[in-house]
Structure 1
């Protein structure tokens, strides 16, 4: 194989594929990226961790077609340190790969391409398109609530399912047991009858990075066990989490009759300020809500006390309730409008937070004892 490629093109593509590769691998080939140069001037870069696979095509000048595999992180680090604007020449033969740019030369060890594993997709019967902007919204507004507890592996991703609500919709939800985030979008054509799926956290993170460079729509194909995202130059394929997501609709409160309307920015800043003295362990902030006034307070045995008043629109009976400050800030950070609705019941019941009745996203937060 002999090819020449612009450093910027190589670096950008390697940046995408190398992040799939785990730093520590017991199987050496999984540390490598597959580089496949074809005579039509396309180089295909591919990396996998056996659960997630990314393939990206880049343009290059290919003199001799061929394929090899080389350490993904090493090649990425080399490309990062090469001079800007340089042309990178790569040649592979006899178990070695020569990387040359300007006066720099690197001779790298390679492994045969035939040893490189490929995820067998099998048939992916459900097929539809989603605008990249809708996928970004789904990910950004839910992924902070994905659980990191490995024992509850079925919560380690975003749950996607279709429903009649009463119009056909596609819903995305994530929860860690303390908070829940759900986004609803119109059901795309082709998604009817799709199986309920849980997309793993790592796949979500890689997809979100790639979406920054996509205009238009993303083509999605899926089965009950695999999903593939076609993003134009890049294709991301992932296994899905084999588990049952809990019936989260049961925890979404419907009878919370105490409505607080508040400016999300002043609320967020107030919570952030008083939480400065909260201990790392509890991070509890108390909200005392009375007519058109919210008093935020934190009491820390080590650091002292803090309080701040924030104006709001409230006319129900006074209530005191406590929340984990970080969880509350995560939710407020997703609110884009200039008003947020906080639906309260009592100090022990889940609280519903949303921008308004028509908002695509809603959040549920469990209170804390303070």
Structure 2
């Protein structure tokens, strides 16, 4: 005999659904597309990993016979989603086959022996602190869009840099991302003492890990956070997420920020600018999304042109008293940053057509984005 248990369909569906992005990655080990199911008192523990990200979830269950087995994550998810019943019965048979009763359906699903499944990473439970999950959701939402894709030649840019620092009596946590064409930075004040977290100048969380951390923090008020030398750990009452940190050095972003001139500052209505950019972007080239931004006394003019469809122009009033400047930028970069910002008024700081543009808002403390220019 082996594993035999009854679980609520909704509980199992929620657990296996959260595992899909982890187990769905194609790899050299077939068992990594499976979930490890093991019993513990009145619970069923579901574990998935791709050796870089591991997620363990505990759900209530009626345990008839203790045991453990691995089953294909995708097929188990589809069965739970389509079962049409309140409960699902899992009963292990010979040669790692599992009989499943769900609603009016009876199924036999081929599994693999649990002893082939990789060990879940060990972690230091004493080196964890309780933090508000909204801190992570905000810094991720305001920086994720500028993480480089995997094809980026500078490998460390495919990760987010996480740092901690103190300013006067306050402690802050900061996330920085860049794809080489833009840079986003978001700092949040944190009330908890975070001295035990092993954050350093090169704590890099890979892009996929950031995605899973963001999902983990949804609908949770407080998480237990641990940052160790090689991994970051997030834990709540029923789940544990462990993400392996990336090795490497993040480019020096501090010197870029210091080099930005404060000569020309534009104050502009955020929503009005965002709406105009979305319309102008309809007539940009698909690859470059290039637009021309002309600044004159208290006025901004946006222009775009598409070789096949035509052109677009929009203009409106702003607060600007500097010299006339013609600039060129990727329109999509502006849209992505402005739509995650807060506040009615944002500030654009730029020196000339060859200089980067920094975007901030007095009503969005701790956040900034820098966008590199294009050639006119």
Any unmatched runs of 5+ in structure 1?
none
For residues 36 and 209 of structure 1, the distance between their equivalents in structure 2, rounded to whole angstroms, comes to 24
Matched, 1:347 2:353: yes
SS at match of 1:30: helix
Q: Distance in 2 between matches of 1:144 and 1:13?
A: 27
CA separation of 1:160 and 1:122: change in aligned 2, threshold 3 A: same
- State how 1:60-209 maps to structure 2 within 5 Å: 60-83=61-84, 85-94=85-94, 95-121=96-122, 127-148=128-149, 149-166=151-168, 167-187=170-190, 188-191=192-195, 194-196=199-201, 197-209=203-215
Aligned-pair CA distance for 1:119: 4.2
Q: Under a length normalisation based on structure 1, what TM-score does the superposition of the two structures give? A: 0.94
Bigger Cα displacement from structure 2, 121-130 vs 48-57: 121-130
Tell me what 2:6 maps to.
4
Give me the whole-angstrom Cα distance separating, in 2, the residues matched to 1:230 and 1:273.
43
**How many aligned positions are there?**
367
In the alignment, structure 2 segments of 5+ residues that lack a partner are none
- 1:267 matched to 2:273: yes
Distance 1:111 1:159 in 2: 38
Shift of 1:286: 0.8
**1:155-185 superposed Cα distances (whole Å, 9 cap, x missing partner):** 1111011224455422110000111110112
Q: What residue in structure 2 maps to residue 335 of structure 1? A: 341
Q: 2:299 maps to what in 1?
A: 293
SS at match of 1:177: coil
Offset of residue 220 of structure 1: 1.4
Correspondence for 1:244: 249
Give the Å deviation of 1:43.
0.8
- Deviations 1:106-141, CA, capped at 9 Å, x for gaps: 101111111110243365885433211111001100
Task: Assess, with a 3 A threshold, how the Cα gap between structure 1 residues 343 and 150 changes in structure 2: closer, same or farther.
Answer: closer
Q: Which of the residues 299, 309, 317 maps onto 2:323?
A: 317
Deviations 1:75-100 (A, max 9, x none): 111111111x5211111132111111
